[in-house]
């Protein structure tokens, strides 16, 4: 399952800086549970920022549920060291998350 979120540039920068920390795990909170997340296979969190899809993180197989936070009770976890930049693909700003993300059926990653 692949989902996409919109991050402000400074939020994405903060997430990427965490790659150098002792604990490179970061989180992204959601108001609703993404369908398909519990299925077997690889799951990715695509990130759009500054008008384009920029790359993705591999999602952890674990997530958190906080019923006391009605605005965003679900938390997806990811290791920031898995960041994979892709060729920029135009994206309009959106809220929440989307399943409409760039395809990984072809080699669109960028060497860093």
CATH number, domain of 59, equals: 2.30.130
Residue 37: the pLDDT is 81
Give the range of the structural domain holding residue 23, as residue numbers without chain letter.
Answer: 2-93
End-to-end CA distance of the chain: 25
Is 102 contained in some domain? no
Q: Note the pLDDT of residue 18.
A: 96
The number of domains in the chain is 1
Residue 101 counted as domain residue: no
Are 57 and 83 within 8 A, CB to CB?
yes
C-alpha dist (Å) from residue 73 to 20, 28, 86, 109: 28, 11, 29, 32
Residue 33, token pair as written in the block: 């549970």
In a domain, 109, yes or no: no
Pairing assessment for the beta strands 44-49 and 2-6 based on DSSP bridges: parallel
3-state secondary structure of 91: coil
Would 107 be classed as within a structural domain? Answer: no
Q: Which residues in 53-73 are b (16+ Cβ under 10 Å) and which e?
A: bbbbbebbeebeeeeeeeeeb
Q: Is residue 27 part of a domain?
A: yes
Count other C-beta atoms under 10 Å from residue 52's C-beta.
15
Print pLDDT tens along the chain (112 aa).
899 999 999 999 999 999 999 999 999 999 999 988 888 889 999 999 999 999 999 999 889 999 999 999 999 999 999 999 999 999 999 999 999 999 876 555 565 5
């Amino acid at each position: 399952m692949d989902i996409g979120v919109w991050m402000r540039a400074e939020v994405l920068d903060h997430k990427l800086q965490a790659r150098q920390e002792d604990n490179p795990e970061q989180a992204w909170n959601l108001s609703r549970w993404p369908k398909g997340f519990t299925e077997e296979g690889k799951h990715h969190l695509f990130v759009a920022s500054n008008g384009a899809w920029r790359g993705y993180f591999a999602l952890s197989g674990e997530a958190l549920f906080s019923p006391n936070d009605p605005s965003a009770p679900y938390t997806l976890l990811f290791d920031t060291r898995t960041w994979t930049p892709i060729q920029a693909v135009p994206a309009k700003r959106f809220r929440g998350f989307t399943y409409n993300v760039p395809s990984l059926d072809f080699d669109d990653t960028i060497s860093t």
